[in-house]
Every structure is written in C-alpha cells, then in structure tokens.
Chains A and B, each alone.
Chain A
Amino acid sequence: METYSSDVIKKIVDAAGKNNVLFSKEEKIPYENDASYIGGLLPELVIIPENSFQIASVLKICSQNGVNVTVRSGGTALTGSSVLQYPGILINTMKMDKIIDLNLSSRYVVCQPGVRLDKLNEYLKKYNFFYPPDPASSRASTVGGSISTNAGGLRAVRYGATKEWILGAEFVTGNGNIISTGEYTLKRSAGYDITALLIGSEGTLGVLTEAILKIEPLPEETGRILAFFRDISEVGRAISDVKNAGITPLIAEFMDLPTIDSIRDKLDINIPEYTQFMLMIDIDSTKKSLMEKITQAQVIIKKYSNDIIVITDRVKMEKIYSARKGAYSSLLKQRENDKQIVIIGDLIVPASELPETLKEIGKKIDEHKIKATLFGHIGDGNIHANIFVENTENGIKRVDELQMEIAKIAIKHKGCVSAEHGIGTEKNALLYEEYREKNSLYTLELMKKIKNVFDPYNIMNRGKIFYEKQD
C-alpha cells in the first residue's frame, strides 16, 4: 500500500537519480531487518545515493512532504535502529564507500560512511597505523554506523569509544542542509562541538556523509595474558590491581563458563577444570620491555589466579582475538532450537563497581529463571548479558522485564543502560528510566529540542532513542 502520493515519490526518485533507487518489493524485503531481533516495516523506496547532494535533495523533498526517513549502512545494529518503525523511505549509504584522504603526520583519515571498519584498518595497516574503535562486528560494520551508535569494542579500555576518534564530519541535516563540523586538527576551541552531537545520534538528526577520523600508529609489540578464576569478584580485583599499578591494557575482557564453552574449540588452550571465568588482557610495549611488563602484570594477577597463560605468538593471538569477537555469535550453538534467539544486553558501570554489579546481575538472572551468559569488556566496565529466549510475544516480554531490572542495577552503580550498541527502539524505555532515576528528564527534553533544530519536521528515524506514541 502506498503511503505517499505518486507525485512526491517521483520527486524523491528524480532527486536521488533513478539508478540509485530500489522500487520492487523483492528488492526491499532485506531492509525489513538489521542484526537485531526487531523487525521493521517495508520501506516505500530504498535510496542508495552516491553523494551528499543527492541526500540533501531527497531530504528537502521529504521534509516538505512529511516523508519519514530511516538511515542505514552496514545493517549491523543490535537495537533496531536501522529498520523502519514508521512508514517511509530508507537511505542506505553503502555506495559511499571511499577512503578520501590520509594524512599520517597530522594523524587523520577521511572516509565516507560506507567504509567497513575492517577494510579501513586493512588499508591503514599498510602504513603501520590503525583506527582504534573495534566493535565485535567490525568485519561488517561501517564508519557511518559506528559513529551513529558511538560504537566501542574491545580496545575501549585503552582508547575509549568512537567519540574519542572523530575530529569532524560532513553531515546532511534532516531538513536537507549540508554542514561541515569540526576540523582536521587535534585541538579546536571554536563554539559548540556539533560533531559530538552527531556521534550516537542514530540517524535521528540527519545523514552522515563524510568523517574525519583520528588514527594511531600500531603498537610495537603486544602480548596476551589469559587467567582463570572461580569467582567473578576475583576477576574484578585482578584487573583493578593491574590498572592501579599503572598498566592500562590494550584490551581487558572477561567471559563466563558458558561463553568459554561456546568458543573452546577455537581457543585451543588448556582450561583448568575449576574455571568459571576467564580474563584476557593484552599488554603492549616496546620489543625490548614487553616481557618485563607482562611479568609485572602476571605477578599481580597471580594473587587471584593459580593458572595463567602468556601468549606472544601473533597467529595464536589473532585466533583467540577472533574467537572472542565471535563470542556472541558462537553462543548461538547453545540455542535449544532455531526458534530461540539470543538477545545481547549492553550495560556499563564504572570499572570499580563491576564485581558488585556482576553479582547482582547474576542473582537477578537466576530469579527470572532465564538462561543468560555473561561476557564483556571488564577493563571499562561494559557487561554483555546474552539472554536466550523464545522469539514470541511472551518471550520478548520476559526479556524486556529482565533488561529493565538489570538496567536499574547498572543505574544504581552509577552506570548507563547502553555502553556501545545505542538505544534504537529496544532501549528507549531504559533510557527514560535512566534519566528518571537521575531526576534529569529535562536532559531528554533537551535532546528532543536539539533534534527539532536539525530535523524540524520530525522525519528522521522516528521512534528511535525517544519513545514516540504511535498515531
């Protein structure tokens, strides 16, 4: 059923260029889904533009005619942010997939939104550089998508999330204005930081069409420590002591036994029988002093763990790293049937609050009698609770209730309801709860006012971030 008049549709098609539009139902079906369990509506049109001018022209027409717009690139969102909640069109930025400029001495690379993160790092590796944000989906996720969700990843303990790595952007606002924000420089003191507003905006303000990203030289040498524990609080203490000793690891990950089991064959290491949790820490240094630094960390961890493995072989390290990045997907093997889904939670608390938070979350999961496994980025306090549930109305309701309860635990411990996946439609009730609990609902109102400035006709990615009552 067509929602918009043929005249409006024709104007949109003309603005985008006919060759950049998918019209037929069969071509649009895949866009009803992203990587989340939340299905969306079939788009009226799918636009795959070549440049920002086409996007600006399309958004102007959409604004004038009240046509809702959803934005997508790699389609790896886990919270439903890149599928349609309201009838409208979808803009897919994948065709804008060029690396435009690289400047090693000024430490930046300029990219279009459709560049996949692994491809970017493959390119930078040739110059001995890298772009640190490293979400587990980096094979498929893109510059555009990772900026829109402020993606984090394994290396966030050292390098922080995406927001630390964006110097500037070209952006098309919801009403079709092309703006440039930020600079090519590391320092900037010139009015409001509009770039920062765009990061994590999940397509609700407009469409990112270019980004200036900071880059770093690759670490000279890295080594990995794997340690095994019976108790999660010991894991928390071990990583705290390492950090207190002045060592900031490149990555600091933990996983529980069911997660270890899901990737055991890929890890290819001897895991002690008593193991309930594993800690994985990467240390970097110069070639000369790497072992010295590893030994220093090893001595600290030894206070809490009897069994420690040190790996410096690059191939073996890469294999284990890939296994950890694929942990969420590997958990699928533990599904009882194909109808069961695994919903990945994404909370964060200050690292010091982690041991207590994990205990309370574990207790809550037991109370709800739902199967869930835990892994996450222990170095930065980010916990992923992976919840196994039947994909039914009742199943999703049970997950929503559990997610809310464990979100409240995170809020109580000075944390946040979403660390790196964004809000989408999945977590807008949790976001509301966070600000209600902080007695700061006006912050949400401010966000809406900001959206209104960028997108005065409220057409951009409606239903995402903020709960919106459907007509």
Chain B
Amino acid sequence: MRILVVEDDVVLADGLKVGLGLYGATLDVVASCADGQAALAVDPFDAVVLDVMLPDGSGLDLLASLRAKGDRIPVLLLTALDEVSDRIKGLDVGADDYLGKPFDLAELAARVRAISRRQEGRASSCMSYNGVTLDLARLTATIDGTTISLSRREFAILSALMDRPGVVLSKNNLEARLYGWQEEIESNTVEVHVHKLRTKIGRAKIETLRGIGYRMRPIAS
C-alpha cells in the first residue's frame, strides 16, 4: 500500500514515514499543498494522510480541489483542530476519516487501512483468493490453512495482486505501488520478489503473462 503524507513538521513527518512503514505501507512525504497536488497528479497512491494547517494554505482546500476534480482517493485528515465543528467541516469537505493530534500510531495505521479497503469495496481486513488468505492488519498470509511469513515487499506485491484478482499488473505498476521516491529500484527487483513469493505460496498461484505483467491465476484453470 502506497500512502502520501502531507505534513510540514519534520519530526512528525519522519515519524509517519517510519511508523506507517512498520505497518507495511510505502510512504512518501511532502510538506506543502502544492507539492501534495503535484505528487497526487503523478503517482498512484492508495491513501493520503493530510495535515490541515500547511505553510501554503489549508489542507481542506487541497482536499476540496481533489474532490472537485472527481478524485476519490481515500483521505485521512490529521489536525490539531479536533473540535466537533472542525471534524464535521473536514468530513463534509470530503475527508474519509479524521484524527486529532496527538494520536496513536497503531490507530492511525488501522484507520488508513480501513479507509483504503472501503475504497476497494471490502469491509474486512482479510482478502481471500484461490486458497491464499491475507490479513492486512497483521501482515500475515495463510496458504491452505498454513501461516507463512512474507517480507514487507512480498506482502505488498501479493496484496496488490489479490486486490483485483484476474487483473494483470505490469512490472512498472507494481514498482510504483511498492516504492517511494527516494528508494533505489533495481531493474529486476520485482522479478526477484515474485520469484521468492512463488517459492513460498506455490508456483501455480501467480501467473506470468510474458511482456505484460503478473496476475493471480484464475481458480477455474
């Protein structure tokens, strides 16, 4: 899961980057509305954690302009103003959730997971397909009843593939979902991770469409 954090305080921004990373997400951090807008225009994010008071304007304005453009990306507002009226205003502008500072890191991670899985139309934090079950909250995978351990990258690739089983994801698409801006990507990184995944969950579970990408093998075949 790739998350954009728009927060101008360096300590908090660093904390969010590292902290949400512990919960399996890939984070990118920007410090202003303008940078946030630019980042959202370029990269596919699964959710946005948005501070309200930013140096070049209000996060609410950024949110409003996103919604005006028809962008349905899940947004969690993070703000020092957590009066009821502020929360109502934030939610009405188009936020999916609201958390007042200071907050609990685990709660923030859970809420971000919740808003992004609702976006994908799931109510539970577990995904299941063709004998593979992923628990997004605990970052565990179960294959035919046996729990196996996956690295963060492997888990991210598997959850991206299982999100829409049957849909083919290209290598570039997977890279964009897995890695933040500052991270170095080797040309064969995705292949390496997929290879390791196959050895853990079984070769037949993931199908390679040469020159196109990867997808979960349909159940019927």
Real binding pair: no
List residues of B whose CB falls within 8 A of some A CB.
none
